[in-house]
């Protein structure tokens, strides 16, 4: 299970005195516990891998948004730290689908549903995100969909 792998990696990082990795993985374990409590499960339960991946994606998104905010505020050193944390977390995510693969699926779905008008873009985005759940980055999907409805 992913949660067990992360616990093992946390122990290894503590032994190696990798302070940033320890900080990130401890925070991730806390996020797992918060998810368990939020879904009315015991904090000692194990989180299924699909739920764990959802938590990791949320944490990655937080780091990405924080990094952008710090760069906007001319705080490059804090933005760099957020980027490093995001890199550590992304190592636990499966590789995302490249844009050309997303494009193939999007074109097939567009033909299947016959959506051609720009007003259908939101509905189409929802259908496509459901199809690609967990396999593609939402910003990549958005870029591809925007290109289809020009």
Query: In this structure, are 73 and 127 located in the same domain?
Result: no
Number of domains into which the chain is organized: 2
pLDDT of residue 82: 97
Query: Which range of residues forms the domain containing residue 38?
Result: 2-90
Question: What is the mean predicted confidence (pLDDT) over 114-132?
Answer: 82
Residue closest to 108 by CA, chosen among 132, 137, 139: 132
Query: In this structure, are 83 and 110 located in the same domain?
Result: no
Q: Quote the pTM value.
A: 0.78
Give the CB-side neighbour count of residue 78, counting CA atoms within 13 A: 11
pLDDT of residue 88: 97
Residue 42 phi, psi (nearest 5): -70, 140
């Amino acid at each position: 299970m992913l949660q067990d792998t992360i616990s093992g990696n946390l122990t290894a990082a503590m032994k190696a005195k990798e302070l940033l990795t320890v900080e990130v993985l401890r925070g991730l374990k806390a996020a797992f516990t918060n998810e368990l409590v939020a879904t009315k499960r015991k904090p000692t339960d194990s989180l299924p891998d699909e739920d764990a991946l959802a938590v990791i994606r949320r944490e990655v998104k937080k780091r990405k948004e924080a990094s952008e905010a710090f760069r906007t505020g001319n705080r490059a050193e804090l933005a760099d730290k957020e980027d490093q944390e995001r890199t550590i977390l992304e190592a636990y995510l499966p590789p995302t689908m490249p844009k050309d693969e997303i494009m193939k699926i999007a074109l097939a779905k567009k033909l299947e549903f016959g959506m051609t008008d720009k007003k259908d873009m939101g509905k189409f985005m929802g259908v496509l995100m459901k199809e690609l759940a967990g396999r593609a980055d939402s910003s990549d999907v958005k870029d591809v969909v925007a290109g289809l409805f020009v």
